[in-house]
């Protein structure tokens, strides 16, 4: 048993034939490249298995979204960077990359962090207790039902025929290469001078410093791949880029955590 779903896509009406048992939860994505823009229309549902949600570390349920975002097909690398507070980019399957969390150090919270804590000490999800419910794809769910990646999207990587996994909000490609691309970020040495005292252990983004070095990626996790500048997802901090070198589309980097 199937049903037709009417969807407006880039000014056209398209009818998608959906199997009845997948109608509410199957991946839907249309990508169109036109007039210097690469546009994605998607429901944000992944095209691969996910972990169980809600779970002990994440109380939210995956739900369909209405996502329509565009990036330039001709990105230009600037000298200055834009820090990412919200969505970094979008994967080739329509799932968003969101490197940051909404939490920061809060000594008055039972968990030690909250949405209303000290923003000088922001939680890195891979350093947080329980990793805030991340599944085996390094993804979890926002309060509005948005399933999104915080690191290497394991199942998508297995499905992909190349290292290209998505596009950043400034239009540059996002890749994952297992060997040869190393982050230039490192844990600071010693103890925090204020705030959440104790050793720098990776709980907070501010526990890290960019050191760079020969052969290392730049501070936005970017580098050269086959003669062009791209961003990389890495197995170590920052995992996903936390900044971008190009002009960021207004469709990205929104600060809210859905």
State residue 190's pLDDT score: 98
pLDDT digits (tens, 9 = 90+) for 27-52: 999 999 999 999 999 999 999 999 99
Q: What is the mean pLDDT of residues 103-112?
A: 94
156, burial (CB in 10 Å: exposed 0-12, middle 13-18, buried 19+): buried
Q: Are 253 and 86 in contact (CB under 8 A)?
A: yes
State residue 5's pLDDT score: 44
State residue 255's pLDDT score: 52
State residue 179's pLDDT score: 81
pLDDT digits (tens, 9 = 90+) for 64-87: 999 999 999 999 999 999 999 999
Q: CA-CA distances (angstroms) from residue 66 to 17, 42, 43, 175?
A: 18, 6, 5, 25
Provide the total of helices (H) and of strands (E) in the chain, helices listed first: 1, 20
End-to-end CA distance of the chain: 33
State residue 178's pLDDT score: 85
Q: CA-CA distances (angstroms) from residue 88 to 6, 55, 76, 113, 119?
A: 29, 25, 17, 23, 19
pLDDT digits (tens, 9 = 90+) for 166-186: 999 999 999 999 887 899 999
Which residues, listed in sequence order, are joined to residue 186 by a DSSP beta bridge? 209
Q: Spell out the residues 6+ positions from residue 169 whose beta carbon is closer than 8 angstroms to its own.
A: 71, 84, 87, 88, 89, 244, 248, 249, 251, 252, 253
Q: What is the mean pLDDT of residues 239-258?
A: 84
Name the residue ranges covered by the structural domains of the chain.
2-244
């Amino acid at each position: 048993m199937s049903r037709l779903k009417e969807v407006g896509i880039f000014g056209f009406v398209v009818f998608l034939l959906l199997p009845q048992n997948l109608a509410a939860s199957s991946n839907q994505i249309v990508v169109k490249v036109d007039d210097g823009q690469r546009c994605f229309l998607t429901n944000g549902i992944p095209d691969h298995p996910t972990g169980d949600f809600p779970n002990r570390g994440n109380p939210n349920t995956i739900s369909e979204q209405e996502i329509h975002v565009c990036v330039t097909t001709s990105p230009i690398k600037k000298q200055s960077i834009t820090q990412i507070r919200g969505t970094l980019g979008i994967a080739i399957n329509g799932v968003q990359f969101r490197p940051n969390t909404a939490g920061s150090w809060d000594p008055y919270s039972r968990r030690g962090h909250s949405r209303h804590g000290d923003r000088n000490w922001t939680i890195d999800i891979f350093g947080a207790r329980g990793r805030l419910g991340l599944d085996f794809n390094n993804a979890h769910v926002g309060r509005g039902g948005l399933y999104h990646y915080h690191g290497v999207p394991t199942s998508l990587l297995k499905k992909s025929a190349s290292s290209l996994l998505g596009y950043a909000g400034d239009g540059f490609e996002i890749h994952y290469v297992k060997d040869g691309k190393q982050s230039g970020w490192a844990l600071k040495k010693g103890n925090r001078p204020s705030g959440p005292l104790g050793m720098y252990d990776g709980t907070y983004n501010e526990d890290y410093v960019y050191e760079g070095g020969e052969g290392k990626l730049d501070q936005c996790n970017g580098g050269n791949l086959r003669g062009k500048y791209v961003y990389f997802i890495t197995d170590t901090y920052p995992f996903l880029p936390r900044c971008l070198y190009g002009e960021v589309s207004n469709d990205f980097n929104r600060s809210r955590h859905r």
